[in-house]
Chain A
Amino acid sequence: MPKVKPHRTSPSLDMTPMVDLAFLLVTFFMLTTKFAPEETVVVDTPSSTSEIKLPESNVITLTVDKNKRVFFGLDDEKAKVATLQKVGAKYGVNFNAAQAKAFGNLTNFGVPVGQLGSLLSMDADQRKAVAKTEPGIPMDSLNNQLIDWVIEGRKANLALYKKPTYIAIKGDGEADVPTVQQLIKVLQEKDINRFNLITDLENKPVVSK
Protein backbone atom coordinates (compact mmCIF):
# COMPACT_ATOMS: atom_id res chain seq x y z
CA MET A 1 0.00 0.00 0.00
CA PRO A 2 1.38 3.36 -0.93
CA LYS A 3 1.81 5.89 1.68
CA VAL A 4 -0.88 8.52 1.89
CA LYS A 5 0.83 11.74 1.07
CA PRO A 6 -0.62 14.90 2.50
CA HIS A 7 -2.18 16.94 -0.25
CA ARG A 8 0.20 19.65 -1.15
CA THR A 9 -1.39 22.99 -1.80
CA SER A 10 0.66 25.73 -3.21
CA PRO A 11 0.78 28.75 -0.89
CA SER A 12 0.14 31.09 -3.78
CA LEU A 13 -3.04 33.11 -3.66
CA ASP A 14 -4.91 34.88 -6.35
CA MET A 15 -3.99 38.50 -6.08
CA THR A 16 -6.08 39.70 -8.98
CA PRO A 17 -9.01 41.19 -6.99
CA MET A 18 -6.60 42.96 -4.67
CA VAL A 19 -4.71 44.42 -7.58
CA ASP A 20 -7.98 45.47 -9.17
CA LEU A 21 -8.98 47.31 -6.05
CA ALA A 22 -5.57 48.87 -5.58
CA PHE A 23 -5.51 50.24 -9.09
CA LEU A 24 -9.07 51.45 -8.81
CA LEU A 25 -8.11 53.47 -5.76
CA VAL A 26 -4.91 54.71 -7.38
CA THR A 27 -6.89 55.95 -10.35
CA PHE A 28 -9.43 57.61 -8.08
CA PHE A 29 -6.86 59.43 -6.00
CA MET A 30 -4.82 60.40 -9.05
CA LEU A 31 -7.81 62.02 -10.64
CA THR A 32 -9.07 63.79 -7.55
CA THR A 33 -5.71 65.10 -6.37
CA LYS A 34 -4.98 68.70 -7.09
CA PHE A 35 -1.36 69.41 -6.58
CA ALA A 36 -0.63 72.43 -4.48
CA PRO A 37 0.59 75.06 -6.90
CA GLU A 38 3.82 76.83 -6.26
CA GLU A 39 3.51 79.63 -3.77
CA THR A 40 4.89 83.05 -4.49
CA VAL A 41 5.50 83.79 -0.86
CA VAL A 42 6.18 81.44 1.98
CA VAL A 43 4.00 82.15 4.97
CA ASP A 44 4.08 80.28 8.22
CA THR A 45 0.49 80.28 9.40
CA PRO A 46 -0.25 80.24 13.13
CA SER A 47 -2.12 77.31 14.59
CA SER A 48 -5.59 77.18 16.08
CA THR A 49 -8.00 74.57 17.37
CA SER A 50 -10.55 75.25 14.66
CA GLU A 51 -11.41 72.16 12.65
CA ILE A 52 -13.34 73.81 9.87
CA LYS A 53 -11.92 73.14 6.44
CA LEU A 54 -11.47 75.69 3.74
CA PRO A 55 -13.96 75.18 0.89
CA GLU A 56 -12.40 73.71 -2.23
CA SER A 57 -13.54 76.23 -4.77
CA ASN A 58 -14.69 79.84 -4.99
CA VAL A 59 -12.02 81.09 -2.66
CA ILE A 60 -10.18 84.39 -2.80
CA THR A 61 -6.98 84.09 -0.82
CA LEU A 62 -5.39 87.22 0.54
CA THR A 63 -1.91 86.45 1.74
CA VAL A 64 -0.21 88.73 4.24
CA ASP A 65 3.48 88.13 4.75
CA LYS A 66 5.73 89.39 7.50
CA ASN A 67 6.96 92.34 5.43
CA LYS A 68 3.48 93.90 5.35
CA ARG A 69 2.91 92.83 1.77
CA VAL A 70 -0.50 91.69 0.60
CA PHE A 71 -0.93 89.19 -2.21
CA PHE A 72 -4.09 88.42 -4.10
CA GLY A 73 -5.04 84.96 -5.30
CA LEU A 74 -8.16 83.45 -6.83
CA ASP A 75 -8.51 79.73 -7.29
CA ASP A 76 -10.35 79.57 -10.59
CA GLU A 77 -8.44 80.16 -13.79
CA LYS A 78 -11.32 81.48 -15.91
CA ALA A 79 -12.51 83.85 -13.21
CA LYS A 80 -8.95 85.05 -12.77
CA VAL A 81 -8.56 85.98 -16.42
CA ALA A 82 -11.93 87.76 -16.38
CA THR A 83 -10.85 89.68 -13.29
CA LEU A 84 -7.60 90.69 -14.95
CA GLN A 85 -9.39 92.19 -17.93
CA LYS A 86 -11.83 94.09 -15.71
CA VAL A 87 -9.22 95.53 -13.39
CA GLY A 88 -6.90 96.26 -16.30
CA ALA A 89 -9.67 98.18 -18.06
CA LYS A 90 -10.33 100.20 -14.92
CA TYR A 91 -6.71 101.29 -14.59
CA GLY A 92 -6.16 101.63 -18.34
CA VAL A 93 -3.70 98.76 -18.61
CA ASN A 94 -4.03 96.27 -21.43
CA PHE A 95 -2.87 92.69 -21.29
CA ASN A 96 -2.27 90.47 -24.29
CA ALA A 97 -3.40 86.86 -24.60
CA ALA A 98 -0.06 85.43 -23.48
CA GLN A 99 -0.05 87.60 -20.38
CA ALA A 100 -3.62 86.62 -19.56
CA LYS A 101 -2.67 82.96 -19.87
CA ALA A 102 0.31 83.46 -17.59
CA PHE A 103 -1.96 85.19 -15.10
CA GLY A 104 -4.32 82.23 -15.14
CA ASN A 105 -1.48 79.98 -14.03
CA LEU A 106 -0.32 82.28 -11.29
CA THR A 107 -1.30 81.33 -7.74
CA ASN A 108 -1.06 84.81 -6.41
CA PHE A 109 0.74 88.03 -7.07
CA GLY A 110 1.72 91.13 -5.16
CA VAL A 111 2.43 93.98 -7.53
CA PRO A 112 0.46 97.12 -8.38
CA VAL A 113 -1.49 96.81 -11.59
CA GLY A 114 0.98 99.04 -13.47
CA GLN A 115 3.81 96.56 -12.94
CA LEU A 116 1.69 93.50 -13.54
CA GLY A 117 2.30 93.47 -17.30
CA SER A 118 6.06 93.13 -16.98
CA LEU A 119 5.64 90.49 -14.26
CA LEU A 120 3.41 88.43 -16.53
CA SER A 121 5.84 88.66 -19.44
CA MET A 122 8.54 86.95 -17.39
CA ASP A 123 8.99 83.21 -17.37
CA ALA A 124 8.52 81.17 -14.23
CA ASP A 125 12.17 81.30 -13.15
CA GLN A 126 12.47 85.04 -13.52
CA ARG A 127 9.22 85.52 -11.65
CA LYS A 128 10.53 83.39 -8.83
CA ALA A 129 13.63 85.56 -8.68
CA VAL A 130 11.65 88.77 -8.29
CA ALA A 131 9.10 87.29 -5.85
CA LYS A 132 11.05 88.63 -2.90
CA THR A 133 10.99 92.17 -4.24
CA GLU A 134 7.30 92.31 -5.13
CA PRO A 135 5.94 95.28 -3.22
CA GLY A 136 2.49 93.89 -2.45
CA ILE A 137 -0.83 95.23 -3.67
CA PRO A 138 -1.54 98.77 -2.49
CA MET A 139 -4.57 99.09 -0.23
CA ASP A 140 -4.37 102.52 1.32
CA SER A 141 -7.14 105.05 0.97
CA LEU A 142 -5.44 106.92 -1.88
CA ASN A 143 -4.62 103.95 -4.04
CA ASN A 144 -6.83 101.05 -3.15
CA GLN A 145 -6.24 98.47 -5.84
CA LEU A 146 -6.80 95.51 -3.57
CA ILE A 147 -10.48 96.17 -3.13
CA ASP A 148 -10.90 96.38 -6.91
CA TRP A 149 -9.31 92.98 -7.29
CA VAL A 150 -11.56 91.51 -4.62
CA ILE A 151 -14.74 93.09 -5.95
CA GLU A 152 -14.01 92.18 -9.58
CA GLY A 153 -12.90 88.71 -8.52
CA ARG A 154 -16.18 88.16 -6.73
CA LYS A 155 -18.18 89.48 -9.67
CA ALA A 156 -16.32 87.31 -12.17
CA ASN A 157 -16.72 84.21 -10.05
CA LEU A 158 -20.40 84.90 -9.49
CA ALA A 159 -21.00 85.43 -13.20
CA LEU A 160 -19.23 82.19 -14.11
CA TYR A 161 -20.40 79.84 -11.39
CA LYS A 162 -23.36 81.53 -9.70
CA LYS A 163 -21.77 80.93 -6.34
CA PRO A 164 -20.56 83.39 -3.71
CA THR A 165 -16.89 83.53 -2.89
CA TYR A 166 -15.21 83.00 0.43
CA ILE A 167 -12.54 85.40 1.56
CA ALA A 168 -9.61 83.61 3.11
CA ILE A 169 -6.88 85.51 4.88
CA LYS A 170 -3.61 83.68 5.03
CA GLY A 171 -1.39 85.57 7.38
CA ASP A 172 2.10 84.82 8.54
CA GLY A 173 2.45 84.36 12.29
CA GLU A 174 4.87 87.27 12.36
CA ALA A 175 2.72 89.54 10.22
CA ASP A 176 1.82 92.74 12.01
CA VAL A 177 -1.71 93.37 13.17
CA PRO A 178 -2.16 96.88 11.68
CA THR A 179 -1.77 95.42 8.18
CA VAL A 180 -4.34 92.73 8.86
CA GLN A 181 -6.67 95.25 10.48
CA GLN A 182 -6.31 97.58 7.52
CA LEU A 183 -7.13 94.67 5.22
CA ILE A 184 -10.24 93.81 7.24
CA LYS A 185 -11.27 97.47 7.36
CA VAL A 186 -10.95 97.86 3.60
CA LEU A 187 -13.11 94.81 3.01
CA GLN A 188 -15.66 95.87 5.62
CA GLU A 189 -16.16 99.12 3.80
CA LYS A 190 -17.50 97.04 0.93
CA ASP A 191 -19.74 95.03 3.28
CA ILE A 192 -17.57 91.96 3.36
CA ASN A 193 -17.84 90.86 6.96
CA ARG A 194 -17.02 87.19 6.90
CA PHE A 195 -13.45 86.05 6.82
CA ASN A 196 -11.72 82.72 7.01
CA LEU A 197 -8.38 82.87 8.71
CA ILE A 198 -6.19 80.06 7.45
CA THR A 199 -4.46 78.28 10.31
CA ASP A 200 -2.72 75.04 11.10
CA LEU A 201 -4.44 72.55 13.32
CA GLU A 202 -3.55 72.01 16.94
CA ASN A 203 -5.27 69.85 19.50
CA LYS A 204 -8.06 71.35 21.49
CA PRO A 205 -7.21 71.38 25.18
CA VAL A 206 -9.75 70.27 27.71
CA VAL A 207 -11.09 73.16 29.70
CA SER A 208 -12.73 72.75 33.07
CA LYS A 209 -15.37 75.27 33.91
Chain B
Amino acid sequence: MAEIQGKADSGGKGGKKRAKKMSTKIDMTPMVDLAFLLLTFFMLTTTFAKPNVMQLTMPVKEKNEDEQTKLKESEAFTIIMGASNKVYYYAGMNSAESKADLKVTNYGPNGIRQVILDRQRVQPKTVILIKPDDKAVYKNMVDILDEMNITNQKKYALVKIAKSDQDLIKASAL
Protein backbone atom coordinates (compact mmCIF):
# COMPACT_ATOMS: atom_id res chain seq x y z
CA MET B 1 0.00 0.00 0.00
CA ALA B 2 2.47 2.59 1.16
CA GLU B 3 5.24 0.95 -0.70
CA ILE B 4 5.08 1.16 -4.47
CA GLN B 5 8.23 -0.20 -5.82
CA GLY B 6 9.84 1.13 -8.92
CA LYS B 7 10.66 -1.17 -11.77
CA ALA B 8 13.34 -3.58 -10.82
CA ASP B 9 16.55 -3.11 -12.68
CA SER B 10 16.57 -5.85 -15.26
CA GLY B 11 19.87 -5.01 -16.81
CA GLY B 12 18.76 -3.14 -19.92
CA LYS B 13 18.91 -4.50 -23.45
CA GLY B 14 21.76 -6.54 -24.62
CA GLY B 15 23.84 -5.96 -21.54
CA LYS B 16 25.41 -8.47 -19.25
CA LYS B 17 23.01 -10.53 -17.27
CA ARG B 18 23.18 -9.35 -13.72
CA ALA B 19 21.87 -10.97 -10.67
CA LYS B 20 18.42 -9.65 -9.86
CA LYS B 21 18.71 -7.06 -7.17
CA MET B 22 16.06 -7.54 -4.56
CA SER B 23 14.84 -4.58 -2.65
CA THR B 24 15.72 -4.74 1.03
CA LYS B 25 12.63 -2.79 1.95
CA ILE B 26 9.78 -4.57 3.60
CA ASP B 27 6.25 -3.42 3.88
CA MET B 28 5.95 -2.05 7.40
CA THR B 29 2.31 -1.08 7.20
CA PRO B 30 0.80 -4.03 9.14
CA MET B 31 3.39 -3.64 11.82
CA VAL B 32 2.62 0.06 12.15
CA ASP B 33 -1.08 -0.74 12.29
CA LEU B 34 -0.51 -3.12 15.14
CA ALA B 35 1.83 -0.76 16.95
CA PHE B 36 -0.68 2.07 16.88
CA LEU B 37 -3.52 -0.19 17.86
CA LEU B 38 -1.61 -1.25 20.96
CA LEU B 39 -0.55 2.31 21.61
CA THR B 40 -4.13 3.53 21.54
CA PHE B 41 -5.28 0.70 23.76
CA PHE B 42 -2.68 1.29 26.43
CA MET B 43 -3.10 5.04 26.33
CA LEU B 44 -6.82 4.79 26.92
CA THR B 45 -6.59 2.20 29.66
CA THR B 46 -4.05 4.18 31.67
CA THR B 47 -5.95 7.46 31.64
CA PHE B 48 -9.14 5.93 32.94
CA ALA B 49 -7.53 3.92 35.69
CA LYS B 50 -7.41 6.65 38.33
CA PRO B 51 -10.73 7.57 39.85
CA ASN B 52 -11.73 11.03 40.95
CA VAL B 53 -12.13 11.77 44.59
CA MET B 54 -13.91 14.34 46.63
CA GLN B 55 -12.08 15.36 49.73
CA LEU B 56 -13.99 15.42 52.95
CA THR B 57 -12.36 16.71 56.07
CA MET B 58 -14.24 16.21 59.28
CA PRO B 59 -13.55 18.49 62.23
CA VAL B 60 -11.21 17.21 64.90
CA LYS B 61 -13.15 16.28 67.99
CA GLU B 62 -12.66 18.95 70.59
CA LYS B 63 -12.42 17.44 74.04
CA ASN B 64 -12.98 20.71 75.83
CA GLU B 65 -16.52 22.03 75.58
CA ASP B 66 -15.45 25.65 76.08
CA GLU B 67 -13.15 25.68 73.09
CA GLN B 68 -15.89 24.75 70.69
CA THR B 69 -17.21 27.65 68.70
CA LYS B 70 -20.86 28.34 69.14
CA LEU B 71 -22.89 28.91 66.04
CA LYS B 72 -24.92 32.10 65.85
CA GLU B 73 -28.56 31.68 65.00
CA SER B 74 -28.39 34.30 62.28
CA GLU B 75 -25.63 32.43 60.49
CA ALA B 76 -27.05 28.94 60.71
CA PHE B 77 -28.69 27.31 57.76
CA THR B 78 -29.76 23.69 57.86
CA ILE B 79 -30.15 21.31 54.94
CA ILE B 80 -31.74 17.93 55.59
CA MET B 81 -31.54 15.17 53.02
CA GLY B 82 -34.73 13.20 53.25
CA ALA B 83 -36.08 10.04 51.67
CA SER B 84 -36.83 9.75 47.94
CA ASN B 85 -34.49 12.58 46.88
CA LYS B 86 -36.17 15.38 48.80
CA VAL B 87 -34.18 18.18 50.36
CA TYR B 88 -35.56 20.11 53.30
CA TYR B 89 -34.05 23.33 54.49
CA TYR B 90 -34.60 26.07 57.01
CA ALA B 91 -32.73 29.12 58.22
CA GLY B 92 -31.79 29.65 61.83
CA MET B 93 -32.25 27.14 64.60
CA ASN B 94 -34.98 24.67 65.34
CA SER B 95 -36.20 23.84 68.83
CA ALA B 96 -39.35 22.61 70.48
CA GLU B 97 -40.30 26.17 71.52
CA SER B 98 -39.74 27.92 68.22
CA LYS B 99 -40.40 25.79 65.18
CA ALA B 100 -38.35 26.64 62.14
CA ASP B 101 -39.93 27.48 58.82
CA LEU B 102 -39.29 24.27 56.86
CA LYS B 103 -39.26 24.25 53.07
CA VAL B 104 -38.68 21.49 50.55
CA THR B 105 -36.82 21.42 47.25
CA ASN B 106 -34.88 19.00 45.01
CA TYR B 107 -31.30 18.30 43.92
CA GLY B 108 -31.67 19.90 40.50
CA PRO B 109 -29.72 22.99 39.42
CA ASN B 110 -32.75 25.18 40.16
CA GLY B 111 -33.40 23.53 43.49
CA ILE B 112 -31.04 23.53 46.41
CA ARG B 113 -28.30 25.37 44.50
CA GLN B 114 -30.42 28.48 44.07
CA VAL B 115 -31.49 28.28 47.71
CA ILE B 116 -27.85 28.27 48.83
CA LEU B 117 -26.94 31.11 46.48
CA ASP B 118 -29.89 33.21 47.65
CA ARG B 119 -28.93 32.58 51.23
CA GLN B 120 -25.33 33.57 50.55
CA ARG B 121 -26.50 36.89 49.14
CA VAL B 122 -28.59 37.62 52.22
CA GLN B 123 -26.07 36.36 54.77
CA PRO B 124 -22.51 36.04 53.44
CA LYS B 125 -21.34 34.46 56.68
CA THR B 126 -23.71 31.49 56.37
CA VAL B 127 -22.65 28.24 57.96
CA ILE B 128 -24.47 25.27 56.48
CA LEU B 129 -25.36 22.30 58.62
CA ILE B 130 -25.85 19.19 56.53
CA LYS B 131 -28.03 16.61 58.18
CA PRO B 132 -28.66 13.38 56.34
CA ASP B 133 -31.81 11.59 57.37
CA ASP B 134 -31.57 7.83 57.90
CA LYS B 135 -33.51 7.20 54.74
CA ALA B 136 -31.23 9.29 52.53
CA VAL B 137 -28.84 7.52 50.19
CA TYR B 138 -25.12 8.08 49.83
CA LYS B 139 -25.61 9.75 46.47
CA ASN B 140 -27.59 12.54 48.18
CA MET B 141 -24.71 13.13 50.55
CA VAL B 142 -22.24 13.40 47.70
CA ASP B 143 -24.61 15.67 45.80
CA ILE B 144 -24.95 18.09 48.70
CA LEU B 145 -21.20 18.13 49.36
CA ASP B 146 -20.77 18.79 45.67
CA GLU B 147 -23.19 21.72 45.84
CA MET B 148 -20.98 23.21 48.57
CA ASN B 149 -18.13 22.98 46.11
CA ILE B 150 -20.15 24.46 43.23
CA THR B 151 -21.58 27.35 45.21
CA ASN B 152 -18.21 27.98 46.81
CA GLN B 153 -19.63 27.58 50.28
CA LYS B 154 -16.61 27.33 52.56
CA LYS B 155 -18.19 26.77 55.95
CA TYR B 156 -20.26 23.66 56.29
CA ALA B 157 -20.47 20.70 58.59
CA LEU B 158 -21.85 17.22 58.29
CA VAL B 159 -23.79 16.54 61.45
CA LYS B 160 -26.16 13.91 62.74
CA ILE B 161 -29.85 14.60 62.40
CA ALA B 162 -31.57 15.61 65.60
CA LYS B 163 -34.85 14.21 66.86
CA SER B 164 -36.44 17.67 66.66
CA ASP B 165 -35.56 17.87 62.97
CA GLN B 166 -37.16 14.53 62.23
CA ASP B 167 -40.27 15.62 64.10
CA LEU B 168 -40.32 18.84 62.16
CA ILE B 169 -40.33 16.97 58.84
CA LYS B 170 -43.09 14.67 60.03
CA ALA B 171 -45.20 17.53 61.32
CA SER B 172 -44.82 19.60 58.17
CA ALA B 173 -45.95 16.69 55.93
CA LEU B 174 -43.99 18.09 52.99
Contact = CB atoms under 8 A, between A and B. Distances in A.
Q: Does B associate with A?
A: yes
Interface of A: 8, 10-13, 15-16, 18-19, 22-23, 25-26, 29-30, 32-36, 45-54, 56, 64, 168, 170-178, 180-181, 184, 188, 191, 193-201, 204-205, 207, 209
| CB-CB nearest 8 A-B residue pairs | A29-B42, A173-B139, A196-B53, A22-B35, A175-B138, A46-B139, A177-B132, A50-B54
A13 B2 contact: yes
Interface stretch (B25-33, B69-77, B98-106): B25-33
B169 to A, nearest CB: 15
B94 interface: no
B52 A200 contact: yes
A193 to B, nearest CB: 5
B52 A181 contact: no
Given A29-B39, A176-B134, 5 more contacts: A33-B45, A52-B55, A197-B55, A197-B145, A209-B117
A196 B56 contact: yes
Q: For the complex, would chain A's binding face be called helix, strand, loop or mixed by DSSP majority?
A: mixed
B14 interface: no
A191 B149 CA distance: 25
A19 B49 contact: no
24 contacts: A15-B29, A33-B45, A34-B49, A36-B49, A46-B142, A48-B146, A49-B149, A52-B53, A53-B52, A173-B142, A177-B136, A177-B140, A181-B132, A194-B55, A195-B58, A196-B53, A197-B56, A198-B51, A199-B51, A199-B52, A199-B146, A200-B51, A201-B52, A205-B109
A196 B3 CA distance: 54
A207 B151 CA distance: 7
Interface string B10-30: 000000000000000100110
Contacts of B132: 177, 181
Contacts, number: 168
B113 A207 contact: yes
A196 B55 contact: yes
A193 B59 contact: yes
A4 B31 CA distance: 39
Contact of A64 (B6, B38, B39, B138): B138
B142 A199 contact: yes
Contact of B149 (A48, A170, A171): A48
